[in-house]
Amino acid sequence: MEARAAGPGGAGYNEALLHKTILVGDSGVGKTSLLVQFDQGKFIPGSFSATVGIGFTVMLLGDSGVGKTCFLLQFKDGAFLSGTFIATVGIDFRNKVVAVDGVKVKLQIWDTAGQERFRSVTHAYYRDAQALLLLYDITSKMSFDNIRAWLTEIHEYAQKDVVIMLLGNKADVSSERAVRTEDGASLAREYGVPFMETSAKTGMNVELAFLAIAKELKQRAMQPPDEPRFQIHDYIESQKKKSGCCAFA
């Protein structure tokens, strides 16, 4: 198994010499601080978010091959990684700062391996995540059928109030569609989570997914109690409608 071209910082190394180190341990032991030290060369007391306004950890979950890594790279670099599919090994991470209503929100995004054999590694990270993007591939019925098992796992390992969003990726491949948009929407309704179809290839709804998560997390952290709550479902629906090309159920 080859490791994907990713360490903190991303490209610029010889893939043949790439080694991956996976940090495993209880919540709070310092896994994230260690990575931040490695990535930025400094220790940030309190939390990794101290450098900018606020910061959150978002995790990408879903079967192997649904497009998690491509989804992250599209958001981070605006590029699509086509061609050979190299499965992620263990966990990888990228940071991106987004502006939400004038406040900088740093998202630390964990890209997890979808393959079953890495499952025990990814379990160790669930509790550190404030938000989970759960992806299936609209051309793979199996990846959709497995969403219920993913949600069971999430309920077992993640924080109780974690923000979850269901995403039907590869929406650009309509000729091979195996999961109807209504079925994705109805499963999401059943679990009370927001839903949209996305494409890591064209970038459709990729930024919207992260932005909606950032807005929800920011409002939870900073919103004065007397102000009306941000409604993530309404926000997504209104934004989806705005982009004529990408409106889904």
Ligand X SMILES: Nc1nc2c(ncn2[C@@H]2O[C@H](COP(=O)(O)OP(=O)(O)OP(=O)(O)O)[C@@H](O)[C@H]2O)c(=O)[nH]1
Give the nearer residue to ligand X in terms of CB position, either 50 or 149: 149
3-class secondary-structure state, position 124: helix
Give the nearer residue to ligand X in terms of CB position, either 63 or 216: 63
CB of 9 to ligand X, least distance (A): 19
Contacts of 111 (CB under 8 A, 6+ apart): 6, 60, 68, 69, 72, 88, 91, 92, 93, 94
CB of 90 to ligand X, least distance (A): 10
Give the nearer residue to ligand X in terms of CB position, either 58 or 100: 58
Give the nearer residue to ligand X in terms of CB position, either 58 or 200: 200
Decide if 138 contacts 168 (C-beta within 8 A). Answer: yes
CB of 197 to ligand X, least distance (A): 10
CB of 10 to ligand X, least distance (A): 15
Residue type present at position 188: A
CB of 204 to ligand X, least distance (A): 8
Task: Give the CA distances from residue 136 to residues 117, 146, 177, 187, 228, in Å, rounded to whole numbers and listed in that order.
Answer: 18, 8, 12, 12, 32
Residue with tokens 């889904």: 248
User: What is the C-alpha to C-alpha distance for residues 71 and 63, in angstroms, rounded to an integer?
Assistant: 13
Give the nearer residue to ligand X in terms of CB position, either 172 or 222: 172
Rounded to 10 degrees, what is the CA torsion of 154, 159, 163, 169?
A: -30
Binding site residues, ligand X, CB under 6 A: 62, 64-70, 81-82, 85, 87-88, 113-115, 169-170, 172-173, 199-201
